[in-house]
């Protein structure tokens, strides 16, 4: 889903939640939850939109209507090869993107 479609669907009330996924390597990907399922924000080239910080995500989303938004961080221990998962759920912190400064 590209930003214009996200904006349109958010204004129509079709977006349930936004998740800013923290990815190993120091970047973030925006996950969009709708009635249809989950998708990721993409650029015109069809690749996932890579965000460098939560502040960049706030600036990108500033014109959207207020929606539940969360920063999601999976445990590094859960990602280690050969290790059993240590936590059942990732860290999920509310993120207010309407306070872009």
Q: Where are the domains of the chain?
A: 3-94
pLDDT of residue 101: 46
Tell me the C-alpha distance between 3 and 46, whole Å: 12
Percent of the chain with pLDDT strictly greater than 90 = 65
| pLDDT tens, residue by residue, 33-80 | 999 999 999 999 999 999 999 999 999 999 999 999 999 987 665 555
CA distances from 18 to 64, 78, 84, 87 (A): 11, 23, 28, 22
């Amino acid at each position: 889903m590209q930003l214009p479609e996200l904006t349109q669907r958010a204004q129509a009330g079709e977006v349930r939640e936004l998740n800013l996924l923290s990815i190993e390597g120091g970047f973030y990907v925006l996950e969009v939850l709708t009635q249809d399922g989950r998708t990721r924000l993409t650029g015109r080239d069809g690749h996932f939109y890579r965000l460098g910080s939560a502040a960049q995500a706030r600036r990108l989303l500033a014109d959207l209507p207020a929606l539940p938004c969360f920063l999601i961080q999976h445990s590094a221990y859960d990602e280690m090869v050969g290790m059993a998962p240590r936590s059942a759920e990732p860290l999920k912190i509310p993120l207010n993107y309407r306070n872009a400064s």
